[in-house]
Amino acid sequence: MEGVRVEAENSEVAEALVIKEVYRLAKEKGFSKVMFESDSTTVVRDITRKDWLTAWKTSKIVEEIRNHLTEFAEAKILLEKREANSAADWVEKQYNMGMELSNWVDRPPSSINPH
């Protein structure tokens, strides 16, 4: 996976784009059960709502995420507080420093690898 930089109007759009990319990667890797974590209350709420109402800025992305989540045997989207999201914070810091992150999914660094 090659690092990708996106321009987003706000943090909710950026978060939705990240989830969209992660589900694409999970599907590509052949995962059947997935759990996505986000610290964006708005994005998590919009993806998990039963009435399909969403924030208009993320509506198309959220719709695509919802449609593709049905492709997994089991898919969960959880709200995580930023303090608990150390892996995402690590990735963001490394990326901002210009580090190559193409292999971190297969071989995560020891600082965030529970094994």
pLDDT digits (tens, 9 = 90+) for 52-106: 788 888 999 999 999 989 999 999 999 987 665 666 666 667 767 776 666 666 6
Domain ranges of the chain: 11-96
Q: What is the pTM of this model?
A: 0.66
- At the topology level, CATH places domain 11-96 in Nucleotidyltransferase; domain 5 (3.30.420)
Q: How far apart are CA 28 and CA 90, in angstroms?
A: 23
At 37 the pLDDT is 87
pLDDT band (50, 70, 90) for residue 44: very high
At 1 the pLDDT is 46
- Distances from the Cα of 21 to the Cα of 16, 60, 64, 111, angstroms: 9, 14, 11, 23
Structure tokens given for 83: 């303090």
Give the contacts of 60 (CB within 8 A, at least 6 positions apart): none
Q: At what angle do helices 59-69 and 41-48 cross, to 10 degrees?
A: 50
Q: At what angle do helices 59-69 and 11-28 cross, to 10 degrees?
A: 20
**Percentage of the chain exceeding pLDDT 90:** 33
At 71 the pLDDT is 92
